Amino acid sequence: MPDIAENVEKGTIAAVLVSEGDKVSVDQPLVEIETDKASTDIPSEFDGVVAEIKVQEGDEVKVHQVILILEVEDEDGQDEQEKEKPAEKGKAESHGEEEQAEKETDDEKKDDKGRDNQDQEQEEQKSKEHSSDKKRNLSEVPAAPSVRRLAREMDVDLTRVKGSGPGERITAEDVKKHADKPQQADAKEKPGADEKLPDFSQWGPVSREKIKTIRRLTAENVLQSWQTIPHVTHFDEADITNLEKFRIQHQKKAEKQGVKLTVTAILLKIAGFALQKFPRFNASLDDNEIVFKHYFNVGVAVDTPRGLLVPVIRDVNTKSLIQLSVELDELANKARERKIAPEEMQGGNFTISNLGGIGGTGFTPIVLPPQVAILGVSRAVYKPVYVGDKLKKRMIIPLSVSYDHRVIDGADGARFLRWFCDVIEDPFAILQ
């Protein structure tokens, strides 16, 4: 299992694409791996014959673990004995690294200095760019390559370690200390970790299905969110009759540009304005500080056969309705077709979850940390509504907003959603 990306350390075999005895050529996909919210093919690095497959669908594999053994021919056309590919190369490299890691004690910094300095500069640059955002990605954590290796070996998540070195740089000692701590929080995060189930078969037939990576990650994330964020969900509804007329009128124009103008795209556009007007909904909480972001990236929950994925549309405030429709369509398709990259699902400040295409009169979405708010959209339907003294047929869309009550007060929640509804009812309200 090669290194796929900086912060990906393991994955699940989603499909084995070859059989023992198969001839394979360079770049031919061998297995499909589901990793941190994305799936990717692992291609062969050589022409050869599959000698042995060491994994099966559903297995969890770690980076550098052997996936399969490939018999390849060397440059003279002679069979090399069971060369292990692609994972064995990784393994050999990893052994080299281990030896080096051992050598790298006192003089490690000298050995690694060029690379390390470069690394440090890049990391410092990154940490300057995100100076107010301490909940970093693994790649943004200041630590030397040898410390990263040690953390990988000891199964320590560097994003949770506080560095004691200059500029909060994480040392090998910090990693060791963290590894010694009882990992209560981690144990708690595992859904159902300490629940013992009864034997259901005593009451009737049962079957089991392995939970795929994405569903497991979603389960872990929503559990963590539910346990750590004090959620409040606020409901409101908007008269979307006029906006729906506008949408249908402009549908033809959009179709000419090869795209469907959807309710979600319109809500994305409104969210761009709403997040500027209500900066706390675009923020994150960092201990005693609120991190306000001055860019406006919005995630959209997409229902896929593999589970919930949330691609992020960047800088929604700068894009036209048509651009937003195109991007939403592209990203939702990529998510459904397993082609979405992890980075296309990162960096969101706020999320829209539209279940209206399916149905429902209201729901309480769960905030995606480190975000602090999420908009839930239910099904717009025609209802009899009093307009002045007259009962009229109007299309009403139910909306909800769940928010982190540590950052957002009830009145803020009510104001935010009411403003959103006002703009749906009369886009002129944006100017107010």
Annotate each residue in 227-266 with x if it binds ligand CAO (CB under 6 A) or - if it does not, as one string: -----------------------------------xxx--
Q: Does 331 bind ligand CAO (CB under 6 A)?
A: no
**Coil, helix or strand at residue 35:** strand
Q: Which is nearer to ligand CAO, 1 or 308 (CB)?
A: 308
DSSP 211-226: PPHHHHHHHHHHHHHH
Report CA torsion sign: 320, 322, 325, 330: negative
Question: Cβ of residue 38: shortest distance to ligand CAO, in angstroms?
Answer: 17
Q: What angle do CA 25, 26, 31 make, to 5 degrees?
A: 85
**Coil, helix or strand at residue 382:** strand
Cα dihedral 374, 379, 380, 383, rounded to 10, equals -120
Considering the candidates 130, 231, 250, 405, report the single residue annotated as catalytic. Answer: 405
Are 353 and 376 a contacting pair, CB within 8 Å?
A: yes
Question: How many other C-beta atoms lie within 10 A of the C-beta of residue 48?
Answer: 21
Are 264 and 313 a contacting pair, CB within 8 Å?
A: no
Q: By beta-carbon distance, which residue lies closest to ligand CAO?
A: 356
Concerning whether 405 is annotated as a catalytic residue, the answer is yes
Task: Provide the β-strand partners of residue 397.
Answer: 238
Q: Which is nearer to ligand CAO, 101 or 302 (CB)?
A: 302
Question: Cβ of residue 36: shortest distance to ligand CAO, in angstroms?
Answer: 19
Among 347, 357, 360, 410, binds ligand CAO (CB under 6 A): 357
Among 94, 297, 353, 371, binds ligand CAO (CB under 6 A): 353
**Coil, helix or strand at residue 399:** strand
Question: Cβ of residue 360: shortest distance to ligand CAO, in angstroms?
Answer: 9
Tell me the longest C-alpha to C-alpha distance in the chain.
91
Q: What is the size of the binding site for ligand CAO (CB under 6 A)? A: 19
Question: Cβ of residue 308: shortest distance to ligand CAO, in angstroms?
Answer: 5
Annotate each residue in 359-398 with x if it binds ligand CAO (CB under 6 A) or - if it does not, as one string: ------x-----------x-xx----------------x-
Q: Which is nearer to ligand CAO, 148 or 247 (CB)?
A: 247
Q: Which is nearer to ligand CAO, 96 or 357 (CB)?
A: 357
Among 299, 348, 356, 370, binds ligand CAO (CB under 6 A): 356
Q: Which is nearer to ligand CAO, 223 or 355 (CB)?
A: 355
Site residues (CB under 6 A) for ligand CAO, limited to 287-326: 300-303, 308
DSSP 225-284: HHHHS-EEEEEEEEE-HHHHHHHHHHHHHHHHTT----HHHHHHHHHHHHHHHSGGGGEE
Bond before 384 cis per omega within 30 degrees: no
Among 94, 354, 371, 400, binds ligand CAO (CB under 6 A): 354
Are 401 and 373 a contacting pair, CB within 8 Å?
A: yes
Q: Which is nearer to ligand CAO, 158 or 380 (CB)?
A: 380
Residue 283 CA to residue 392 CA, distance in Å, equals 40
Q: Which is nearer to ligand CAO, 139 or 363 (CB)?
A: 363
Among 5, 355, 414, 429, binds ligand CAO (CB under 6 A): 355
Residue 190 CA to residue 262 CA, distance in Å, equals 37
Point out which span in 57-65, 137-145, 339-347, 350-358 binds ligand CAO (CB under 6 A). Answer: 350-358
Using alpha carbons, list the distances in angstroms from residue 229 to 150, 299, 362. Answer: 32, 19, 21
The binding site for ligand CAO (CB under 6 A) comprises 262-264, 300-303, 308, 332, 353-357, 365, 377, 379-380, 397
Catalytic residue annotation: 405
